[in-house]
Amino acid sequence: MSNGDRDGLIVEGIRRLGSVVIFLARLLAQCAPALGRPWLLVHQVYNAGARSLIIIMLSGLFVGMVLGLQGYDLLHRFGSVEALGSAAALGLLKELAPVMTALLFAGRAGTALTSEIGLMRATDQLTAMEIMAVDPMRYVAAPRFLGGVIAMPLLTAIFSVVGLYGAQLIGVQLMGVDRGVFWSQMQDSVELRNVTEGVVKSLVFGTACSLIAVHEGYNAAPTAEGVALATTRTVVASSVLTLLLDYVLTATFL
Amino acid sequence: MRGVHYALGGRPIFSDLDVQVRRGRITAIMGPSGTGKTTLLKLITAQVPPDQGELRVFGQELATLGRREVYALRRRMGMLFQNGALLTDMDVFENVAFPVREHTDLPETLIRKLVLTKLQAVGLRGAAALMPAELSGGMARRVALARAIVMDPEVLMYDEPFVGLDPISLGVILRLIKHMNGALGITSIVVSHDVQELATIADDSYLISGGRVAASGTPAQLRASDSPAVRQFMTGGAEGPVPFHYPAPDYATQLLVAED
C-alpha cells in the first residue's frame, strides 16, 4: 500500500467519523420533537423491539442452556457446582445478554432499519418530505433511533431472564444441582452494580447500533447496490463496535 | 433566477442560466435528457445551493435564508415527483393527509373533507383505501398530485410528469395541470422533454441546452425559431448540434485494437 493510499484511507475514515458525529448531533436535536409524537415512537419500539422478541428469547434460551451445561462441567471438576447459579447470573447479566442482544439486534432490527430508510431515500420519499417542509430527520430518523435505544435494554432484560431459565433447566432439572442452592447462591453474589453494568451496556449498545443503522440508511446511495452495501455495513460496523465498546465498558466497570 | 452557475462533481451543469417564472402562468422547462432539468427544480426548492448567481423565490434570495425560513418557503410550494414518491407505509388517504397532519392541528372531520376533496379533484376518491403498491404509475402520480395541492401551494412543480404514461393517463395529467393552473391560480413549472404535450398547455417555455437557456418564448415562437439547436429538439432530429454519439474514441480504431 502506497503512502497516498494510506493517507486516503485515513482521511476517509476521519470523514466518515465526522459525518456520523454531525448526524448524531442533528438526530439528538430532533429527539425532543420526536417525543411529541408518541404513536410514531411506539410504532418503532414495536418494530425494533416486539418483532425481535422471538429471536431474542430463542437465542437467550439456548445461550442459557449452553451456559448451564458448560458451567456445570467446569464447576464439577472443582467440586463447586453450587456456584452454578452465580456463574450463570453474572455471566448473563454483565456480558452475554447485552452483547448477544446487540449482535442479534444488529442482524434483525438494524438491517431492517437501514434497508427501510435506504429504500425511502432511493424512491425519493425522503426528498418528498423535505419538499413538504417535513424534516425527515424528525419524522423518519429520530423515532427509529429512539425506538432502538428504548428497545435494546428491554430486549436485554428479557434475554437475561430467559437465559437464566435455560441455565436452571439444564443445571437444576437435568444435572441435579440443588434448586435452593442454585437460587440462593445467585441472590448472594449478584449485586446491584452488576445489574447496572448490564443496563448501561445495553443502553450504550442500543445507541451505537441504532445510530449506525439509521445513519447508514439515511446516507445510502439511492440504488439497489447502495442499499445492499449500506445494510452490510450496518451489520459489520454494529458488531465490531459492540464488541469494542464491550471491552471498554467492562474495563471501566472493573 | 439570474446568472446561475452550478457544478456537480466538477462537471458544470449550468453556466449563466437566466430563467424567470411568472405568477399564475404555466412555464415549461424543456431540454434534452441530462441537461439538468431536475437539478433546476432542486435549486428552486433549495435542496442544493447554486455555486454562483442570484436565485429568488417569492422575492426572497434563497442564499440568505436559514433552514427554518427555507422550510417556511417550501410550505408555499408543491412538487410532483417522477415516480410519485408516495410514502409506502400509508394508504392513499393518509398520504394525502400527511402534510396537513404535519403542519396543522385541524380536526379529523375537516382533514377528511379536505383530503376527499383533493382526491375527488384527481378522480381517485374511490382509491382512498388502497396502498401505494396497488396503484398504477398514472394513479400514483395523480395521488402525488393530490398530496402536492392539499396545502394549497402557490407554486407547483412537475418533474417529468408525462414519462411512462399511457395516452389516457397522459391526457388526464395534462388536463389536471391545466385545471390546477386555471381553477386554482397556481403558478406551474413543468419540467419535461415531451415537446408536443407541453406545447398544448404552456404559456411560456424555456429550452435549456449546454447549461444555458438556448431559447425562450411561447411554444409557437420556439417552433418558429430558426436556431438549429432549437429546431433539432422541437422536431426530434437525430443529427444536429446535439450529436447522436456520446464522445468516444475513433470507431474503427477501437474495434481493431486488441483488448489489453
Mean pLDDT of A103-116: 94
CB neighbour list of residue B185: distance below 8 Å, 6 or more residues apart: B24
Alpha helices of chain B — where are they, by DSSP H? 37-44, 67-74, 92-103, 108-121, 137-149, 167-184, 195-201, 219-224, 228-235, 251-256
**Model confidence pLDDT, tens digit, residues A197-210:** 999 999 999 999 99
Asked whether residue B236 is assigned to any structural domain, the reply reads yes
Asked whether residue B66 is assigned to any structural domain, the reply reads yes
Q: Of B140, B147, B67, give the one whose Cα is nearest residue B100.
A: B147
In a 3-state reduction of DSSP, which class is residue B7? Answer: strand
Cell numbers given for A169: 433447566
Angle between helices A97-105 and A224-253 (to 10 degrees): 170
How many helices and strands in chain B, by DSSP H and E?
10, 11
Mean pLDDT of A115-124: 91
Global ipTM:
0.76
Q: Of A23, A9, A29, A6, give the one whose Cα is nearest residue A220.
A: A23
CB-nearest partner of A124 from B74, B83, B98 = B83
Per-residue pLDDT for B211 more than 80?
Answer: no
Per-residue pLDDT for A106 more than 70?
Answer: yes
Cell numbers given for A79: 467440586
| Residue in A132, A138, A139 to test binding to B, most B beta-carbons within 10 Å | A132
For residue B185, give the DSSP letter: -
**Chain A residues contacting B via beta carbons under 8 Å:** 120, 123-125, 127-135, 139
Instruction: Give percent of chain B above pLDDT 70.
Output: 86
Ramachandran class of A43: left when φ > 0, alpha when ψ lies in -120 to 50, beta otherwise: alpha
Per-residue pLDDT for B173 more than 90?
Answer: no
Span of A142-146, B89-93, B184-188 with lowest mean pLDDT: B184-188
| Residue in B68, B70, B76, B79 to test binding to A, most A beta-carbons within 10 Å | B79
Tally of structural domains, chain B: 1
Cell numbers given for A59: 437465542
pLDDT of B243: 64
Asked whether residue B249 is assigned to any structural domain, the reply reads yes
Residue B255 exposed, middle or buried by CB count within 10 Å (0-12, 13-18, 19+): exposed
**Model confidence pLDDT, tens digit, residues A227-236:** 999 999 999 9
Strand partners, B143: none
Answer for the pair B27, B217: CB distance below 8 angstroms, yes or no.
Answer: no
Per-residue pLDDT for B5 more than 60?
Answer: no
Asked whether residue B12 is assigned to any structural domain, the reply reads yes
Task: Name chain A contacts of B77, Cβ cutoff 8 Å.
Answer: 131
Per-residue pLDDT for B4 more than 80?
Answer: no
Task: Name chain B contacts of A129, Cβ cutoff 8 Å.
Answer: 87
**Chain B residues contacting A via beta carbons under 8 Å:** 45, 47, 71-72, 74-75, 77-79, 81-83, 85-88, 98-99, 102-103, 144, 147, 151
Per-residue pLDDT for B233 more than 80?
Answer: no
Handedness of CA B60, B61, B64, B68 (dihedral sign): positive
CB-nearest partner of A131 from B77, B82, B86 = B77
Per-residue pLDDT for A168 more than 70?
Answer: yes
CB neighbour list of residue A161: distance below 8 Å, 6 or more residues apart: A60
Per-residue pLDDT for A186 more than 80?
Answer: yes
Confidence of residue B184 (pLDDT cuts 50, 70, 90): confident
Task: Name chain A contacts of B102, Cβ cutoff 8 Å.
Answer: 132-134, 139
Task: Name chain A contacts of B81, Cβ cutoff 8 Å.
Answer: 124, 127-128
pLDDT of A114: 95
Asked whether residue B109 is assigned to any structural domain, the reply reads no
Domain CATH number, residue B41: 3.40.50.300
pLDDT of B70: 85
Mean of per-residue pLDDT scores for chain B: 79
pLDDT of A89: 93
Cell numbers given for B129: 383505501
**Model confidence pLDDT, tens digit, residues A7-46:** 888 998 898 889 899 999 999 988 888 888 888 899 999 9
Helix (H) or strand (E) holding B12: strand B11-17
- Residue scoring higher pLDDT (A192 or B4): A192
Cα separation, B218 vs A235, in Å, equals: 55
Span of A2-16, A62-76, A82-96, A133-147 with lowest mean pLDDT: A2-16
Interchain pair B47, A124: CB under 8 A: no
- Residue scoring higher pLDDT (A1 or B178): B178
Asked whether residue B183 is assigned to any structural domain, the reply reads yes
Strand partners, B169: none
Helix (H) or strand (E) holding B209: strand B204-209
Q: For B144, which residue in chain A has the nearest alpha carbon?
A: A128
Q: Where are the domains of chain A?
A: 38-253
Asked whether residue B122 is assigned to any structural domain, the reply reads no
pLDDT of B2: 52
**Model confidence pLDDT, tens digit, residues A33-81:** 888 888 889 999 999 999 999 999 999 999 999 999 999 999 999 988 8
Mean pLDDT of B118-125: 85
Domain boundaries, position B225: 2-76+153-256
Q: Could you tell me how far CA A64 lies from the centroid of its own chain?
A: 18
Unique residue bearing C-alpha cell 417525543 = A35
